[in-house]
Amino acid sequence: MSTLSSVRELTHAEAPSFSFSRAVALLAGSVVVGMEKVMTRAELARSRRQLAQLDERLLRDIGLDRATARFEAGKGFWT
């Protein structure tokens, strides 16, 4: 096969076509991943609020002091 015919085949090769169903699937996947991240952050925020409410004995049981618990509980939603 000559070089010229190879080039012609490449230029006439069918380009991948747009697939609406693939675009919808990608969008849906992105939405699901985004929702999972928000839910994870909400759970983490809830856990931090609960950590702030623990007494000294319970903090000692999990190996934390009050300053560390306050620091962790003070973190924002996205950190």
Q: How many CB atoms lie within 10 A of CB 51?
A: 17
pTM flag (> 0.75):
no
Instruction: Considering only residues 17 and 57, tell me which one the structure prediction assigns the higher pLDDT.
Output: 57
Supply φ then ψ for residue 36, to 5 degrees.
-60, -40
pLDDT of res. 10: 56
pLDDT of res. 44: 93
Mean local confidence (pLDDT), 63-70: 93
Residue ranges per structural domain of the chain:
40-79
Average pLDDT of the residues of the chain? 85
Buried b (16+ CB within 10 A) or exposed e, 24-43: eeeeeeeeeeeeeeeeeeee
| CA neighbor of 48 nearest in space, from 79, 78, 72 | 72
C-alpha to C-alpha distance for 70 and 48, rounded to whole angstroms? 9
User: Is the pLDDT assigned to residue 9 strictly greater than 90?
Assistant: no
